[in-house]
Structure 1
């Protein structure tokens, strides 16, 4: 059995789908690991490290591979080189990449999307959305601290006392909780808000103050918040305004994969922040939680600097790659049948398993992911 590790080619992507320290996990399962030259350079892993770990560094790594792993979806030219029956494992925003999905389908490739791994207890070790959100949440707090031209922690000196910065975090999923925890570790006073019922206890467990707006909780499927009416959204923004205005740093992390991010903060709300304030919008790439934020740029709104997130986990490629690679290896292990007697180990996904079935986008010339199939039937190839 051969697993190929692709070198990422999309602009700004520095992560790699397998790190040298986990090569042994795959070889122990019976796989031969082939890595494209330079695949780990962005994450500071040299080809020699992969070779020392037992992998083969090969420019034709995908030739004869049963499984191809990457962070971003494999390029179309790579897909067209794969033999029917080959499996790919990557992030795959299928509703935005319908052309690629059509190529995967027509090539007879079985494609698994890491963001479609069901959010159930048994799948936690394969949950790449959560692992990458952890990295992004940490990075958001570090960015906020770096942009803010004052201390995060309280400082008591002979020259006087410098009060701590006040940080407000909107959204208390994995990224938000990590932003809270990191801001607290840096010494800030942190307040946070999320529309989900369980969020207040989670926020308090991080040592922050949970903001209570007196509004009904909105709990949706998969642990995400459900969409709110425009009336509810307007009222929520009104109630959040004084908290935003008082913040030295505002961090927003509310997003649902494949959907437009909700606008939590208007331009007018940001304009009420004090001179020197900082806003970090993790959701800028999916529309933005903050009106006026721009992915990959720092813009000024009123007297505040507004940082728009773009490829945030890739800004910390070392830990992001290590966590993602562990997710991938755990998913591969789930789909591997151990050898018994004279029967060798085999890559043998069981589609009766809800994790495997849920993550699968294409298989045997069919688009199995219903929303993507509907999108394709609606006019795409």
Structure 2
């Protein structure tokens, strides 16, 4: 079976879906791997790196024509779908719940499509979970960006001229990104506080050295390992509990997202007005509307003396590591779905069932 790896066309994207080391593992398992020319160049992987391990580097049209499985990171776009036919099996993040027109377009080609972002949050699927692997890097990078944008340093520092007190960092959302942000900020010497609707995250946050801001979450349980949308009452109580820490914070990182829905607003403009002059907010949920009321995607907005940076910080900025982790997720997923280089099509199995969005032109999941 031939696996085709396509070059990402999304503006600003630097990652590639398969790294040379993982391409070699696939080849060792008996698959043929075709790489679109320069697909890995922005991640520091040269065409010759792929050729050296036995992959073939081809022009875009050749990859579409000869490969059975087509792999990307971002959703297949209109130009991609012009070259897709009913024999193709597509794998990428499709965000099918918020992209119904894309799913209809894929179905119209007669192809089959798996969505990597639909991976169930179960222990068996942890090594295939691209949202976790990429969010880990996003949490790390958010702290580094915040440190760069702040006008203060993170750690306590004692000098002959006097003592510099440590910066205060507040993190909303103790998922994968939030936990990595806590760990990174603590390593840099900051005083870290964190809050989340899921009380089960309290122990995790505290184990990394953060002070957890508790808000009674009765009736606000999470769904499938993800935080669900909070009630108005919980949102009000959370604001009251978090405000003191928010107004004292030098850096705030927000990571709260709900799959397929608009991000919850956790910081209003009124709250921003009461924050420290010179404080920085890194809003990782900006692509879905933002956790801060006045954040804008891919923009830095300075308002009321606070710098608000709306971003996904997506792991594009650390594309070598991000590509390798995504590739490992894909490798594990393909190993799960296949036996003797053939798909098993176990439609009742949870991982297959949740991720198989379109099968031979028929939409299975909306």
SS in 2 for 1:300: strand
Per-residue CA deviation, residues 320-359 of structure 1 (Å, 9 max, x unaligned), is 1111111011111112212xxxxxx424432232111110
Question: What CA distance in whole angstroms lies between the structure 2 residues aligned with 1:74 and 1:109?
Answer: 12
Using the TM superposition, give the Cα deviation of residue 95 of structure 1 relative to its aligned residue in structure 2, in angstroms: 3.1
Question: What CA distance in whole angstroms lies between the structure 2 residues aligned with 1:82 and 1:254?
Answer: 35
Using the TM superposition, give the Cα deviation of residue 363 of structure 1 relative to its aligned residue in structure 2, in angstroms: 0.2
Give yes or no for contact 1:197–1:218 (8 Å, CA) kept in 2: no
Using the TM superposition, give the Cα deviation of residue 311 of structure 1 relative to its aligned residue in structure 2, in angstroms: 5.1
Matches within 5 A, 1:160-309: 160-214=162-216, 216=218, 218-309=220-311
Which blocks of at least 5 consecutive residues in structure 2 are unaligned?
A: none
Residue of structure 1 equivalent to 2:351: 355
Residue of structure 2 equivalent to 1:315: 317
Which blocks of at least 5 consecutive residues in structure 1 are unaligned?
A: 339-344, 373-381
Using the TM superposition, give the Cα deviation of residue 272 of structure 1 relative to its aligned residue in structure 2, in angstroms: 1.1
Give yes or no for contact 1:29–1:336 (8 Å, CA) kept in 2: no
Give yes or no for contact 1:167–1:190 (8 Å, CA) kept in 2: yes
Give yes or no for contact 1:12–1:311 (8 Å, CA) kept in 2: no
Using the TM superposition, give the Cα deviation of residue 103 of structure 1 relative to its aligned residue in structure 2, in angstroms: 2.2
SS in 1 for 2:63: coil
Using the TM superposition, give the Cα deviation of residue 159 of structure 1 relative to its aligned residue in structure 2, in angstroms: 2.1
Using the TM superposition, give the Cα deviation of residue 128 of structure 1 relative to its aligned residue in structure 2, in angstroms: 0.4
Question: What CA distance in whole angstroms lies between the structure 2 residues aligned with 1:220 and 1:212?
Answer: 16
Give the TM-score taking structure 2 as reference length. 0.96
Give the TM-score taking structure 1 as reference length. 0.92
Deviates more, 1:170-179 or 1:155-164: 155-164
- Select the residue among 127, 132, 136 that pairs with 2:134: 132
Give yes or no for contact 2:98–2:261 (8 Å, CA) kept in 1: no
Using the TM superposition, give the Cα deviation of residue 247 of structure 1 relative to its aligned residue in structure 2, in angstroms: 0.5
Does the alignment pair 1:47 with 2:43?
no
Question: What CA distance in whole angstroms lies between the structure 2 residues aligned with 1:362 and 1:113?
Answer: 9
Shift in alpha-carbon separation, 1:44–1:244, aligned structure 2, 3 A = same
Does the alignment pair 1:65 with 2:67?
yes
Using the TM superposition, give the Cα deviation of residue 222 of structure 1 relative to its aligned residue in structure 2, in angstroms: 1.2
Give yes or no for contact 1:197–1:217 (8 Å, CA) kept in 2: no
Query: How many residues of Structure 1 are paired with residues of Structure 2 in the alignment?
Result: 364
SS in 2 for 1:62: helix
Per-residue CA deviation, residues 154-178 of structure 1 (Å, 9 max, x unaligned), is 1112222111001011110000011
